Chain A
Amino acid sequence: VKTREGLFGKMKTLFSGRSVIDDEMYEELEDLLIQSDIGMDMTLKIVGELEKEVKKRGIKDPNLVYDVLKDVMEGFLIAEGTELEVNKPGMNIVLVVGVNGVGKTTTIGKLAAKFVKEGKKVVIGAGDTFRAAAIEQLEEWADRSGADIIKHEQGSDPGAVVFDTLKAGKNRNADVVIIDTAGRLHNKNNLMKELEKINIIIKKHVGDTSYESLLVIDGTTGQNGLSQAKVFNEVTQLSGFVVTKLDGTAKGGIVFAISEELKKPIKFIGVGEGIEDLREFKSKEYIDAIFE
C-alpha cells in the first residue's frame, strides 16, 4: 500500500484560492516549483513564460492560469523522439549509463522484458564488471525477462564485454542488444574515459547508423542532475533519458532544466521495482502526474 500526497495538490488551490492575478501569486508559484527540484533558474524561466502567456491570452481569472501553466511547462519538455528506436532491421543497440544506484540495471531488466514480449530476440551485456554481484543481479533480470546475457568475470575489462556482446548479438541475430554499465560519478575522469572507450567500440560497430544512448536519472535527484546530464552527454552523446523512482514523493523536477539545456527527450519513466514498472514517456501524462 502506498499513499502519496501530491505536492502540487497545493497548486490548484494556489490559483483557485484567490480573486486576482498578482505578484504574490507568482511568488507562491515559484516556491512550489522550487519544492519539486525544478531549480531557481528554470523556475524563473517557467514563471516568466507563464506571465507572458497570461498577458498574451488576456487572462484575468486566476483559475484559468492553472491550465496555462501546464501548457507552459509541457512546452519545456521535448516532445519529439520520445520513442526508443529499436525497430530498425538488423541489430539495435541500447547503451545505458548513469551515476551510481539510479536504476540502470533494473531499467535494463524491464526494457528487456518489454522487448522479449514484443517478440524480439534480446541480448544483454554485463558491462558492469566492478560492483559486487552486479553480474549476478543482471543475470537474474535476464532470467526473468527471457533475454540472453553475455558476461565476463568480475574485475575484467568492460570494453571486452561490450565487444563480445556485440559479436554475440550479431551471431545470434539479435533484434536488440542492451548494454549495462557500472555506475559512475560524472566527475571521475578515469571512469568517464572508460565509458568513452565503450562508446567508441559501439560507434565502430554501428558505423553510420544510430544507436540509443540512455542516461538514467534518479527522480529524487536535486540540482546535481543537470551536471550529470551535461557530462554524460559529452562523453556518450545521449539520445535521451530514463527517469526512475517516480513512484515515490519526488517529482523529478530537474528534468525541466535538463530538457531545456540538452534539448533531448525523456523516453521512459520508472515507477517501481517490478518488471512491469516502466512507462513510455508522455509529456502530457507526466505534467498531469506532477500536478495531481
Chain B
Amino acid sequence: MLDNLGSKFQGIFKKVRGHGKLTEDNIKAALKEVRLSLLEADVNYRVVKDFVNKIKEKAVGENTLSGINPGQQFIKIVNDELTELLGGTNARLTKAHRGPTIIMLAGLQGAGKTTFAAKLAKYLKKNGEKPFLVGADIYRPAAMKQLQVLGDQIGVPVYYEEGSKDAVNICETGVKKARAEEATYIILDTAGRLHIDENLMEELNQIRKKVRPQEILLVVDAMIGQDAVNLASSFNETLNIDGVVLTKLDGDTRGGSALSIKAVVGKPIKFIGVGEKLEDIELFHPERLVSRILGMGDVVSLVEKA
C-alpha cells in the first residue's frame, strides 16, 4: 500500500522551498509520485499519462502565488485539476417536464444495480416523489424476488413477471402500470451483463428504444480496475448513458476508476453507494473522491502545513 502522498510531497518539496518557480526539474519527482498514486488507485494507465502531462504543462513556469511555497502550489494544481476532471458537468438527476421520469439502470454483474434501484426509490420517496420499481432481470436466480423484498421494505410498488422470457416487454408493461398509478419516477432494474455480450447489450438497446428513459445510469463497482474504461465506453456506445453510479465506496478502495470513466465517456457521476442498507446512498462530491484517490486525507489542511 502506498503511503500518504501528502507526506511524500512535503518531503520532495522541502528541497525546492526557496525557489519561486515550478520547473520541469523540481517537479519531476512529484509527478512520478502522482503517476504512481493514480495507478495504485486503479486509474486507467492511459488516463494517468494524459493527466500527468497536463499537470506538467500547467505547473511548469507557473509563478508561485504569494504566501504559498512551490510544494503547496503543486498540490493545489493537482487537486484542482482532478476536481475539475471529476466534476464539471451537471450531476443532478433529470426530472421530466411532463409525466413520470423513467430511469434505467445498467451495468456488469454484481455491481449493485438492484440494491441501488431500491436506494434511489427510497431517496426519491423521502423527497416527496412517487417512485415505482420495475424488475427486468429475467436471468439471475431470484432477481425479481430480491427487488420485491426490497420494494416491500420501503413501501414502493414493484412490477415484474415471474418466469417471463422477455425483458423488453416487462419494461413496457411496467411503465404502463406505473403511469396508471401516477408514479413520478419509474426505475428499471436490468440484469447484469458483460459489455461484450452482444445479445444482452442489444436487449438494453431495445428497452431504451421502447420505453425511452430520460435517464440511463451506469452502475459501477468502485473496486473495479483498469477494465473500467472498456466497460464504460461500451455501455456508453450502446446506450448513450447520462451518468454513473459508483457503489461500494464504503470499502477501502481508492476508487480511481471513477476518474477513468469520467475521462473516457465524459458523463458525470451522480450518486455513490456507501453500504448495503437502503439509506446508504449519497450525492457525489468530486472533491471528496479526489482526496481519496490521492490518498491525502484533507488537501486543504495539507496545503496549510506544507
Which residue among A40, A137, A224, A251 has the maximum number of chain B CB atoms within 10 Å of its CB?
A: A224
1/0 per position for B37-48, CB-CB distance to A under 8 A? 001111011000
Q: Is the CB of B227 within 8 A of A34?
A: no
Interface locus among B18-26, B50-58, B73-81, B142-150: B142-150
Minimum distance in angstroms from B196 CB to a CB of chain A: 5
Please count how many residues in chain A sit with their CB below 8 Å of the partner chain's CB atoms: 51
Alpha-carbon gap, A139 to B145, bound state (A)? 12
Q: How large is the interface on B (under 10, 10 to 19, 20 to 34, 35 or more residues)?
A: 35 or more
The answer to whether A133 and B197 touch (CB under 8 A), given A40-B39, A248-B227, is: no
Q: Is the CB of B109 within 8 A of A273?
A: yes
Minimum distance in angstroms from B33 CB to a CB of chain A: 12
Q: Is the CB of A133 within 8 A of B149?
A: yes
1/0 per position for A181-213, CB-CB distance to B under 8 A? 001011110000000000000000000000000
Q: Is the CB of A185 within 8 A of B250?
A: yes
Q: Is the CB of A222 within 8 A of B251?
A: no
Kindly state whether residue B124 has any CB partner on chain A within 8 Å.
Answer: no
Q: Is the CB of B252 within 8 A of A222?
A: no
The residue of chain A having its C-beta at the shortest distance from the C-beta of B39 within the complex is A40
Alpha-carbon gap, A220 to B198, bound state (A)? 19
Contacts of A130 in B (CB 8 A): 276
Q: Is the CB of A136 within 8 A of B142?
A: yes
Q: Is the CB of A220 within 8 A of B248?
A: no
Interface locus among B126-134, B217-225, B264-272: B217-225
Q: Is the CB of A3 within 8 A of B198?
A: yes
Contacts of A102 in B (CB 8 A): 110
Kindly state whether residue B194 has any CB partner on chain A within 8 Å.
Answer: yes
Which residue among A102, A134, A185 has the maximum number of chain B CB atoms within 10 Å of its CB?
A: A185
Interface of B is mostly: loop
Kindly state whether residue A101 has any CB partner on chain B within 8 Å.
Answer: yes
Q: Is the CB of B276 within 8 A of A137?
A: no
Q: Is the CB of B196 within 8 A of A220?
A: no
Kindly state whether residue A148 has any CB partner on chain B within 8 Å.
Answer: no
Alpha-carbon gap, A132 to B36, bound state (A)? 39
Contacts of B227 in A (CB 8 A): 37, 220, 248-251
Alpha-carbon gap, A251 to B146, bound state (A)? 30
The residue of chain A having its C-beta at the shortest distance from the C-beta of B45 within the complex is A34
The answer to whether A133 and B224 touch (CB under 8 A), given A35-B45, A100-B248, A224-B251, is: no
Contacts of B252 in A (CB 8 A): 185-187, 224, 227
1/0 per position for B183-196, CB-CB distance to A under 8 A? 00000000000111
Minimum distance in angstroms from A100 CB to a CB of chain B: 6
Contacts of B251 in A (CB 8 A): 99, 185-187, 224
The answer to whether A1 and B230 touch (CB under 8 A), given A136-B142, A187-B251, A223-B41, is: no
Interface of A is mostly: loop
Kindly state whether residue B108 has any CB partner on chain A within 8 Å.
Answer: yes
The answer to whether A218 and B221 touch (CB under 8 A), given A2-B197, A40-B40, A247-B194, is: yes
Kindly state whether residue A141 has any CB partner on chain B within 8 Å.
Answer: yes
Contacts of B109 in A (CB 8 A): 101, 103, 245, 273
Chain A 121-155 residues near chain B, CB threshold 8 A: 130-134, 136-137, 139-141, 144, 154
Chain B 252-273 residues near chain A, CB threshold 8 A: 252-254, 256-257
Kindly state whether residue B10 has any CB partner on chain A within 8 Å.
Answer: no
Kindly state whether residue A36 has any CB partner on chain B within 8 Å.
Answer: yes
Q: Is the CB of A34 within 8 A of B39?
A: yes
Kindly state whether residue B67 has any CB partner on chain A within 8 Å.
Answer: no
The answer to whether A218 and B223 touch (CB under 8 A), given A40-B40, A249-B230, is: yes
The answer to whether A37 and B226 touch (CB under 8 A), given A141-B141, A223-B42, is: yes
Chain B 232-254 residues near chain A, CB threshold 8 A: 248, 250-254
Kindly state whether residue B140 has any CB partner on chain A within 8 Å.
Answer: yes
Kindly state whether residue A4 has any CB partner on chain B within 8 Å.
Answer: yes
1/0 per position for B76-120, CB-CB distance to A under 8 A? 000000000000000000000000000000001111100000000
Alpha-carbon gap, A279 to B96, bound state (A)? 47
Which residue among A103, A132, A133, A250 has the maximum number of chain B CB atoms within 10 Å of its CB?
A: A132
Kindly state whether residue A157 has any CB partner on chain B within 8 Å.
Answer: no
Contacts of B194 in A (CB 8 A): 2, 245, 247-249
Kindly state whether residue B123 has any CB partner on chain A within 8 Å.
Answer: no
Minimum distance in angstroms from A92 CB to a CB of chain B: 25
Minimum distance in angstroms from A175 CB to a CB of chain B: 24
Contacts of A273 in B (CB 8 A): 109, 139-140
Kindly state whether residue B199 has any CB partner on chain A within 8 Å.
Answer: yes
Q: Which 5 A-B pairs have the closest CB atoms?
A: A222-B225, A101-B110, A222-B42, A140-B141, A133-B146
Interface residues of chain A, those whose CB is within 8 Å of chain B, are 1-4, 31, 34-37, 39-40, 99-103, 109, 130-134, 136-137, 139-141, 144, 154, 183, 185-188, 218, 220-225, 227, 245, 247-251, 253-254, 273
Q: List 17 A-B contacts (CB under 8 A).
A: A34-B45, A40-B39, A99-B223, A101-B111, A132-B145, A137-B142, A137-B146, A185-B250, A185-B251, A186-B251, A218-B221, A222-B226, A222-B256, A248-B108, A249-B194, A250-B224, A273-B109
Interface residues of chain B, those whose CB is within 8 Å of chain A, are 1, 36, 39-42, 44-45, 108-112, 139-143, 145-146, 148-150, 153, 194-199, 221, 223-227, 230-231, 248, 250-254, 256-257, 276
